[in-house]
Amino acid sequence: MDKTEYRGHVLVVPYPTQGHINPLLQLSKRIASKGFKATLAITTFVSTTNPTFTTPPSTAGPSSVHFDTFSDGYDVGGFATAESNDACLSRFKDAGSASLAQLIGKHADSKQPIDCIVYDSFLPWALDVAKQYGLRPAVFFTQACAVNCIYYYLHHRLLKLPVVSPPVKIPGLPPLEIVDVPGFVSVLGSYPAYFQMVLDQYSNVDGVDFILVNTYCELEKEVSVNKYFAAMQNFKEFTLSRTHLN
């Protein structure tokens, strides 16, 4: 049994694909190194297909990342078994919300209840679960700040589609030709369910306590502070401490 005294317990919830799990796994390691218990919540399907995500109780040390599972509604076969992309994302929201709530409830009865949730921006419904349990919510944007800014403009209709007269001009970014922008923009109508998902990242972002972005600040400094994207940045600097977790 883990008898370590932690400064708090942070639940980290990635979107269940490798390009999202890896950055949040690295963040979890960083959180654990600061004296917090970091639990990475992966889907049941990922846990059964990738043996990396296990933490034997006998080897779980104070700086280890712990792992737990929740259901995305596709425990057997994964997303490949979904009838459609729309059906997949809808089922993930319903099953994921219920299963994540059960996971939080399970830890609530332990010696280390969860204090804070860091969730992938592709899972905005996780904010509702966090608030339901009175937890501190933080959203993590996996993609580069420049890409996030383009989607932010689209969500708020500051950039209209289709782009009829390139280049695309966004403060903080150089003029962008069609080949320079995300595929959802350059090929209008491609994967509409997933296009809506990337726009929905901003549907309730004003309700979180902290916003984290996977970026190199010095390389993307201008775009991260331009006057529109700055509307998302009026939060405290994210520093892991008991003050922020209480």
Q: What are phi and psi of 91, to 5 degrees?
A: -65, -40
| Active-site annotation holds for 72 | no
Q: What are phi and psi of 12, to 5 degrees?
A: -110, 125
| Active-site annotation holds for 156 | no
Query: Would you call 208 helix, strand, or coil by DSSP?
Result: coil
The per-residue b/e assignment along 160-193, b for 16 or more CB within 10 angstroms, e otherwise, is: eeebeeeebebebbeebeeebbeebbbeeeeeee
Radius of gyration of the chain (CA): 19
Cα distance between residue 24 and residue 46, in whole Å: 15
Choice among 20, 72, 107, 200 that is catalytic: 20
Residues in a beta bridge with 45? none
Choice among 72, 115, 120, 200 that is catalytic: 120
The three-state DSSP-derived secondary structure of 44-80 is HHHHHHCCCCCCCHHHCCCCCEEEEEECCCCCCCHHH
Cα distance between residue 222 and residue 92, in whole Å: 35
Q: Calculate the alpha carbon distances from 6 to 65, 93, 107, 139, 212 in Å.
A: 12, 31, 14, 22, 22
Cα distance between residue 208 and residue 6, in whole Å: 24
Residues serving a catalytic function are: 20, 120
